[in-house]
Amino acid sequence: MEITVNGAVRIVDAEPDTPLLWVLRDNLGLTGTKYGCGLAQCGACTVLVQGLPVRSCVTPVESVAGLPVTTIETVEQDDVGRRIVEAWVAHQVPQCGYCQSGQVMAATALLKQVAAPSDSDIAAAMTNLCRCGTYNAIAAAIRNVAQG
């Protein structure tokens, strides 16, 4: 089937119900998107579909046919995504780093929808888990981008 990933149409040999996560990682070699729980709980696998955050571990690849998928590999081509990554670096957000590509994608989606999110907006949108406890740094980085 054909899917559009990071601005390019890609032809992938996969069953229609294969989770998008595995198509990205195994078929397309985009290993920046991580596997955590496989149960839509942790958010490590977050990518954007039409600009909205999606947990790719439970998203059948057939459901994104014809829709633009964005992964961490090209998020910095977007102005908001670039500013998020810069803020992540400035605030030294990552610890082990495993959850961080999903966190960056979720934060990018939030700031593209709400340019100046309140603390409750941030808490509501940033539901990805982090075993290293980087939540305060994540919120600070998001506030930093929102404040320009």
CA gyration radius, the chain? 15
Reference 135, options 105, 91, 93, 96; nearest CA is 93
Q: Is 130 in the site for ligand FES (CB under 6 A)?
A: yes
Which of 75, 99, 109, 126 touches ligand FES by CB under 6 A?
99
Residue 45 in contact with ligand FES, rule: CB under 6 A? yes
Distance of alpha carbon 135 from the chain centroid: 16
Q: What are phi and psi of 69, to 5 degrees?
A: -110, 130
| Sheet arrangement for strand 46-49 | 8-11, 2-5, 68-70, 46-49, 52-55
Q: Which is nearer to ligand FES, 32 or 43 (CB)?
A: 43
**Residue 43 found at the interface with ligand FES (CB under 6 A):** yes
Q: How far apart, in whole angstroms, are the C-alpha atoms of residue 123 and residue 39?
A: 21
Our finding on whether 44 is near ligand FES (CB under 6 A) is: yes
Question: Which residues, 6+ apart, have CB-to-CB distance to 32 below 8 Å?
Answer: 71, 72, 73, 101
Count of positions on this chain that bind ligand FES (CB under 6 A): 23
Q: Does 36 bind ligand FES (CB under 6 A)?
A: yes
Contact between 132 and ligand FES by CB under 6 A: the answer reads yes
Q: Does position 59 bind ligand FES by CB under 6 A?
A: no
Closest CB to ligand FES among 140 and 148?
140
The contact set with ligand FES (CB under 6 A) reads 35-38, 40-45, 55, 57, 94-100, 130-132, 134
